[in-house]
Structure 1
């Protein structure tokens, strides 16, 4: 009888091991090299992490904290007291205590590099969640035209020299922040036969862009999107 029980136990043990290895093969295992989600905007509070990739994110509006005097002082440093920008920034902080200009600029700079790089590569999937529908349509039209001509862009993003908020507003519950970026990049556009049609592959060019980001303050969606662009001569 004991022999029968031992033989039965052995069969169940073999089956258990086989099921374990099958589940391991199906579900996989973490290796420590998985790509973390992209979150261009750092968080002041430890808010729950968003799962979407390639989004321009601030802390959730539910994670509101008292406005600190040092934040107000920082706004006064960025924009003199009494100016329209100073008043607008303080109005945004009053509407959303999680809005902080320095943190916003850090995230906006990360988003700027992502967008510039994705546009040069013609990566529509990377661009779409970062842009408003109107801006996305304009970017895609330019990419389509470039591809129609058979041209390719070779671009190296060197870095951002300066990023500063130039305008801010709260219109009908929509926060809008305009940032002036001064960046450096190497960019060249080549025709199908490799001839340079624009840019210089050996020259680091300085580029100045003025971009406006927007977000609905009361929305549960924490993402900011690019709603307008212009080049600053």
Structure 2
């Protein structure tokens, strides 16, 4: 039986093509196996989901920013830490301390402030009494209260809050005459108050440890 040259050429080409297909498929199967054994991240996949605690942090701080990192530090030292609960308590403390200072209530101030802050308040109250002055302060409302710093120290968690509030404040002299403020017009006051809480605290209370004018 004779086999012409054209037939031989087709047979050789077919064998070559089959060999190449088997070679390519073999390489592809190997690649797919290696890929399956490794991490699979689809292009454009969303970032990893946040934990419940991190979802709460995201309401009070920029993810990955300095305050966020402070939350991480504090949470490692104080497992019950919640920035939302803290901020609600700080707002209440702010109003209570402002009102206590206005009426000269040193006992209330002592329960909410550190010895250094209390000493500053007492000095101002003593000077006010010496002059025979009285003060009336009303917090109309808070425009904003946000955490601007958070960190964990060796024994303490420390958080600073920027308060932007509207107040009606009036100071009267011994004869009742108005000497400062306006009893009918609110004014904006911005302060940064820093609170601290020991890591081994048995109560959820935070203490005011510093105050400074805000911007």
Report the TM-score range of the alignment, normalised by the length of the smaller protein.
Answer: 0.7 to 0.9
2:70 corresponding residue in structure 1:
88
2:120 corresponds to 1:138: yes
Larger Rg: 2
Kindly indicate whether residue 153 of structure 2 is the aligned counterpart of residue 152 of structure 1: no
Match of 1:111 in 2: 93
SS of aligned partner of 2:80: coil
Aligned equivalent of 2:166: 184
For 1:204 and 1:184, how far apart are their aligned partners in 2?
6
Q: RMSD between aligned alpha carbons?
A: 1.4
User: CA offset at residue 222 of structure 1?
Assistant: 3.7
Q: Which has the higher helix share?
A: 2
CA contact (8 A) 1:186 1:201 kept: yes
Contact 2:166 2:187 in 1 (8 A): yes
- 1:203 match: secondary structure: coil
In structure 1, the gaps of 5 or more residues are 1-67
Q: Would you say the 8 A contact 2:149–2:159 is kept in 1?
A: yes
For the residue of structure 2 that corresponds to 1:81, the secondary structure is coil
Aligned equivalents of 2:155 and 2:105: distance in 1? 31
Given that 1:72 and 1:90 are in contact with CA atoms closer than 8 Å, whether structure 2 keeps it comes out as no
- Choose 184-193 or 78-87, whichever is displaced more: 78-87
Is the 1:166–1:180 contact (alpha carbons within 8 Å) kept by the matching residues of 2? yes
Pick from 111, 120, 125: which aligns with 2:107?
125
**Does 141-150 or 193-202 show the bigger shift?**
193-202
Gaps of 5+ in 2: 1-49
